[in-house]
Structure 1
Amino acid sequence: MTRIFLVRHGQTDWNLHGRLQGSTDIPLNATGRAQAHAAASSLWPVLADDAVVVSSHLGRAAETARIIVGDRPVALHRDARLSERRYGPWEGLLGHERAERYPDEDAAWRAGYEPDLDDYETHAEVAARMTAAAEEWVARVPGDLVLVAHGSSGRMLLLAMLGLPFEGRTLGHLQNAAWSRLVPAAGGGWSLEAHNVGAPAPGRML
């Protein structure tokens, strides 16, 4: 039986300061690396030894995945479909800058709805590529599958796999380096068996 473990990458300096990262490739900071080691400590006691780990190609997720794998003889792959959402002109902005420059769009986004921005990747677009990646890897992996991704793209995957609406914040933020577990449901589809496990103290979520 395939189980999906979704892990968000560890903290970056942009997370710490509240800058929206999106597709911008920002590395882990020292806290993020420590969080990734903590995630490994909480994950491996519940993972099968032959688990397969697949990460986003962005550096912060790829490094988190490498730390999780460590020196274990575990297959480690990258899949660009697991990358973070594109936020277009918002990338690199602080929260107050988004609110000042794009007040209507920022209010909509904070309520869980879609902002109208150039080069912004919609909920449905993110969910489609994330789900396609997850389903392809599930078909290839008979046991535990660890997907190391991002806050927004990971949340869209969970919502899609659970059949929940994308809008309205029906599922909260994913914490840095915390993991969630999806298991096949008895009636078909997927069930969220664990969520935000090992989450550090609340901090910046962006």
Structure 2
Amino acid sequence: MSIKKIYIIRHGQTDFNLQGIVQGSGVDSSLNELGRSQAAAFYEKYRDIPFSKVYTSTLKRSIQSVQGFLDLGIPHEQHAGLNEINWGTREGSRITPEEDAYYHRLLQTWCEGETSLCIEGGESPDLVAARQKVFVDLMLSRPEEDTVLICMHGRAMRILLSQLLRYPLRCMDQFEHQNLCLYQLDYTGSMFTVKKYCDVAHLQDLTV
């Protein structure tokens, strides 16, 4: 039985990550020095994996995180379906105590199952899942791509993993993430299994 191997990583650190500024699909930031080091460390660890395709979001921090693999000439596709959730009116701003309370209430509401609720001016988990499904269907329709690398974003990654592993979206926060963490999944044609969970062993020599 043919197994499709899927490596899913979150992008490396940006200055906005460092400063606690809200990023989303509308903030196209670049990696900072540590983020570039994280990307290089992941590349050194996994450069010999025979990736058939690299998929990224359309955002710079995602593409920059896999630049080493792109430089090898591995085919690359950008998909807006992999973009981060649109955090609406709060994108690009530093979180204040008032916004912390708002986010806490919103995330709690999502955890209670109301995943159709949009953040003010932005998206809901249900909307993100719907645009991701287009990408998932496309990826799975290509059996010749037996080993793929996907680089995306924290909240979007949680939603994607929930979909692939058949968890209700209200459970998405069970999937932890850090900058340049790895989830490795195998797909048998009917189900996904997790081989690595939020793995950051490749970053152990970096100063965070």
Name the TM tier (shorter chain). 0.7 to 0.9
d(CA) in 1 for partners of 2:109 and 2:65?
A: 27
Q: 1:118 to 1:59 in 2, by over 3 A?
A: same
Give the corresponding residue for 2:4.
Answer: 2
Instruction: Output the CA distance in 2 between the equivalents of 1:176 and 1:132.
Output: 25
- Determine if contact 2:88/2:122 at 8 Å carries over to the other structure: yes
Do 1:56 and 1:148's aligned partners in 2 also have CA atoms closer than 8 Å?
A: yes
SS in 2 for 1:167: helix
Match of 1:165 among 164, 168, 187: 168
Deviations 1:172-206 (A, max 9, x none): 332111111111258x32112211222647x99xx
Find the aligned partners of 2:109 and 2:17 in 1 and give their Cα distance: 19
Match in the other structure for 2:133 = 131
SS in 2 for 1:86: coil
Shift of 1:102: 6.8
Q: How many Å apart are 1:57 and its aligned residue? A: 0.7
- TM-score normalised to structure 2 length: 0.83
The equivalent of 1:37 in structure 2 is 40
Q: Distance in 1 between matches of 2:86 and 2:122?
A: 5
TM-score normalized by structure 1?
0.84
Query: What amino acid does structure 1 have at the position aligned with 2:79?
Result: D
Structure 1: which 5+ runs fail to align?
none
What is the CA–CA distance in structure 2 between the aligned matches of 1:135 and 1:179, rounded to whole Å? 22
Asked whether the equivalents of residues 55 and 147 of structure 1 are also in contact (C-alpha less than 8 Å), the reply is yes
Equivalent residue pairs, number = 196
Q: Which amino acid aligns with 2:55?
A: V
In structure 2, the gaps of 5 or more residues are: none
- Residues 156-195 of structure 1 aligned to structure 2 (within 5 Å): 156-185=159-188, 188-195=190-197
Partner of 1:91: 91
Report the counterpart of residue 54 of structure 1 in structure 2. Answer: 55
Provide Cα deviations, 1:49-106, integer angstroms capped at 9, x if missing partner.
Answer: x421011110100111213x153231122111111100101212323x1x41473x32
- Find the counterpart in structure 1 of residue 30 from structure 2: 27
Paired residues of 1:42 and 1:198 also in contact (CA < 8 A): no
User: How has the CA–CA distance of structure 1 residues 10 and 101 changed in structure 2, closer, same or farther, with 3 Å as cutoff?
Assistant: closer
Inter-CA distance 39–112: structure 2 relative to 1 (3 Å threshold): farther
Report what 1:144 is aligned to: 147
Between the aligned partners of 1:109 and 1:42, the Cα distance in structure 2 is 37
Query: Which segment is superposed worse, 78-87 or 139-148?
Result: 139-148
Q: Which moved more, 1:10-19 or 1:127-136?
A: 127-136
User: In 2 relative to 1, CA 121–7 (structure 1 residues): closer, same or farther, beyond 3 Å?
Assistant: same
Q: Is residue 85 of structure 2 the alignment partner of residue 82 of structure 1?
A: no
CA change 1:139–1:37 in 2 (3 A) is: same
Question: Cα RMSD over matched residues?
Answer: 2.5
State how far apart, in whole Å, the 2-side matches of 1:101 and 1:10 are. 25
Does structure 2 conserve the Cα–Cα contact (< 8 Å) formed by 1:164 and 1:170?
no
